[in-house]
């Protein structure tokens, strides 16, 4: 597949617990290059727009409230097969089911407070990265 970009979000739970540096080290040690990064606080409207694909799901409002509960660190990360590789090193959505040595096993606490978000497809990676970043913000 070659080099790809994907979105990574270090979520409010991991930021509050001061895990962002450890997660960045983890990502870089796995061979990813961070080509854009910023710390932000989402508004409710922004979080609703970002997670609009889940609008009809029962957890939507809880997810939005969680994602606006504190700062997040959004990143565009680059590597060979970045989308699938990042999903592999993130681990299962539920940290209890995640493989040892994955980000969510190391830094997540439950299915919502699971430390990180990553794009689930190349199409969504393109949508999600452009949601948070302009081309001017990407350092390649």
List of domains in the chain: 3-134 (3.30.70.141)
Q: What is the pLDDT of residues 7-22, one digit of tens each?
A: 999 999 999 999 999 9
Q: How far apart are CA 104 and CA 91, in angstroms?
A: 6
**pTM, two decimal places:** 0.95
Task: Classify residue 81 as left (phi > 0), alpha (psi -120 to 50) or beta.
Answer: left
φ/ψ of 36, rounded to 5, equals -160, 145
- For residue 39, the cross-strand partners are 73
* Span 100-140, pLDDT tens digits: 999 999 999 999 999 999 999 999 999 999 999 998 888 87
What spatial distance separates the first Cα and last Cα of the chain, rounded to whole Å? 18
State the average pLDDT over residues 34-46: 98
Give the span between the Cα atoms of 135 and 66, in whole angstroms. 28
Whether residue 63 contacts residue 51, with contact meaning beta carbons closer than 8 Å, is answered with yes
Q: How confident is the model at residue 1 (pLDDT cuts 50, 70, 90)?
A: low
Which of 11, 104, 105, 117 is labelled catalytic? 117
Q: Is residue 54 among the annotated active site residues? A: no
pLDDT confidence of residue 91: 98
């Amino acid at each position: 597949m070659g080099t790809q970009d994907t979105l990574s979000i270090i979520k409010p739970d991991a930021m509050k617990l001061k895990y962002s540096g450890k997660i960045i080290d983890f990502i870089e040690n796995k061979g990813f290059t961070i080509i854009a990064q910023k710390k932000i606080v989402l508004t409710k409207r922004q979080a609703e727009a970002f997670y609009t694909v889940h609008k009809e799901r029962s957890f939507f409002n809880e997810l939005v409230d969680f994602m606006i509960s504190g700062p997040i660190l959004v990143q565009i990360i680059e590597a060979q097969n970045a989308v699938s590789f990042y999903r592999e090193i993130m681990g299962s959505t539920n940290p209890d089911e995640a493989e040892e040595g994955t980000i969510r096993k190391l830094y997540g606490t439950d299915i919502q407070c699971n430390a990180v978000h990553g794009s689930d497809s190349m199409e969504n990676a393109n949508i999600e990265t452009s949601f948070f970043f302009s081309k001017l913000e990407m350092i390649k």
